Structure 1
Amino acid sequence: MDQSPFIITGMHRSGTSLIARFMHFSGMDLGERLLGANPSNPYGHFEDLDILDFHKSILLREFNHSMWVTALPHYTSSDLEQARELFAPRPHKVFWGWKEPRTSLFLGLWEQVFPHANYLFIIRHPRLVLDSLKRRTRAKWYHFWQYNRYLANWLLYNQACYQFWQTHRENGLLIKLDAILSQPDRFVSCLQNRLAYSFEVVNFGKVYDERVLNLKRPSPILMSPFLYKRCVEFYDILCEEADL
């Protein structure tokens, strides 16, 4: 196993925190300053605050919003240099990396910093992502514009991950959250084969709390049927081609 990072990403509310927690329990160094817990993520986000702040600063500059955007952000040579400087003072790690959903929007930038990085892209059904965002933001079911924005970002994030994965299959895994939850042994096997690192399935059972990932039937939401149809159709493509 080389000393390039292992990067975990995907759309917000797609289970990336669960996977990062599993990796943390398995000995992966996710950083020294991590974003803590909140009511919607009671076990913590496991997000490196330096990387999180770096991503948010560019999104605020480009879109005046640090989370919901309309396109992939433009980044400058100064941004690229700042990304490199984030890791300059850090000690050399053997098994390390980070989890941050916004990384999906910056894959081209990070590839220039770490050309041999490995990636894990987590995909989740758009309806379940919407329901999770609805509960987290306490949005009303009739907030049409808000759910359409969530859908548009679901599409943007997942398209960015998919397009990058298509040309980086030798160092990227595209995996369905449903498959991870139902077949943790196969998920662990995929990781071991890709990373040449020993994982234990028992650790996944220790970190998975089904009460946090609401798997019940989603509540009613008013949204664009056309945009939702596009998302579902693309999700079907992702599922057909996913590594698991």
Structure 2
Amino acid sequence: MNMHNCLILGSGRSGTSAAAGCLANGQYFMGNNLIPARVSNPDGVFEDLHVRSINEEVLAPLLPPRRPNVDSDRHIPEQWQRWLAHFPVGIEISSSPQIKASINELTSNKPYCFKDPRFSYALPVWRSQLENCVFVCMFRNPASTASSIVRFTKEFELMHSLEISFNEALDAWTMLNRHILEKHRHKGDWLFLHLDQLIYGDGLDKLAEFTGAEINRAFPKAERRRTFSNVGVPEEVTRVYDKLCELAGFHR
């Protein structure tokens, strides 16, 4: 079976690291400078600093800079936090020759598998340089994801300057997935997976067949999920979650 190049998308704290870990057995180039493991991802993050930097550079002009000593601006994501921004679906994502050259450098290493929640916004600037590439979108219960995001921002030093509430985390989750559903999924081959499918269901078989890669079936561990919530969420969030579940064939 031929392996496909692969991008892994989805909100942070949704199982993207679990999916990437299944594929991180030496077959794929994932980058030369992977982010080290941390308390929230003790088995590995599987995100390359160069990939992150490119996507941060793409997203930075879309947000206003923080003003000194303005407390309300602490809700504006800054460097390394922009995967938690709320970019409207219709926003224009622009590139530059330098960004294209950096992407070309990375994608020349085939087969590749890159993971970054920022792809959910920055994918348009990568499209023209992706060949034989499939897309994996990971997700889980939005309330649990939002609770995990809030916990993550408190635990991880690079996130301490950002103030984000549970509702703001839900908004970020919703907009990020709306970009995938409304802008991206109609072009290319997509696999949608609920984290529970990867841990308990047939998600491992689906991932192996979809990518054409040998996968580490022992990697996903249920005990790595530390945060859960079943609180009610707004109707818009439920609609997005229901659509993701439908595309994944996941019955909740």
Q: State the match for 1:190 in structure 2.
A: 206
Q: State the match for 1:204 in structure 2.
A: 217
Match of 2:193 among 171, 175, 186: 175
1:230 and 2:236 aligned: yes
Deviations 1:113-162 (A, max 9, x none): 215421001121111101212322239xxxx9622211111111111112
Q: State the match for 1:108 in structure 2.
A: 124
Q: Distance in 2 between matches of 1:91 and 1:116?
A: 11
Deviations 1:187-230 (A, max 9, x none): 23323333333x24xx222x223332126x5387xxxx6x6332
Question: In structure 2, what residue type is equivalent to 1:83?
Answer: I
Q: Distance in 2 between matches of 1:161 and 1:91?
A: 21
Report if the CA contact (8 A) 2:59-2:122 is conserved: no
Kindly report which structure 2 residues correspond to 1:139-150, keeping only aligned pairs within 5 A, or say none.
Answer: 146-150=165-169
Higher helix share: 1
Q: State the match for 2:141 in structure 1.
A: 125
Match of 1:163 among 175, 182, 200: 182
Unmatched 5+ residue regions in structure 1? Answer: none
Q: CA deviation at 1:177?
A: 1.3
Q: State the match for 2:173 in structure 1.
A: 154
Q: 1:164 to 1:179 in 2, by over 3 A?
A: farther
Describe the SS at the equivalent of 2:29: coil
Unmatched 5+ residue regions in structure 2? Answer: 66-76, 156-162
Question: In structure 1, what residue type is equivalent to 2:211?
Answer: L
Question: In structure 1, what residue type is equivalent to 2:166?
Answer: Y
Q: Distance in 1 between matches of 2:182 and 2:93?
A: 19
Describe the SS at the equivalent of 1:101: coil
Report if the CA contact (8 A) 1:59-1:69 is conserved: no
Q: 1:4 to 1:74 in 2, by over 3 A?
A: farther
Q: Distance in 1 between matches of 2:30 and 2:49?
A: 10
TM-score by length of 1: 0.79
Q: Distance in 2 between matches of 1:88 and 1:137?
A: 32
Q: CA deviation at 1:94?
A: 3.9
* Paired-residue identity, %: 22
Q: State the match for 1:13 in structure 2.
A: 13
Report if the CA contact (8 A) 1:58-1:75 is conserved: yes
Q: Distance in 1 between matches of 2:140 and 2:26?
A: 23
Structure 1 vs Structure 2 CA RMSD = 2.8
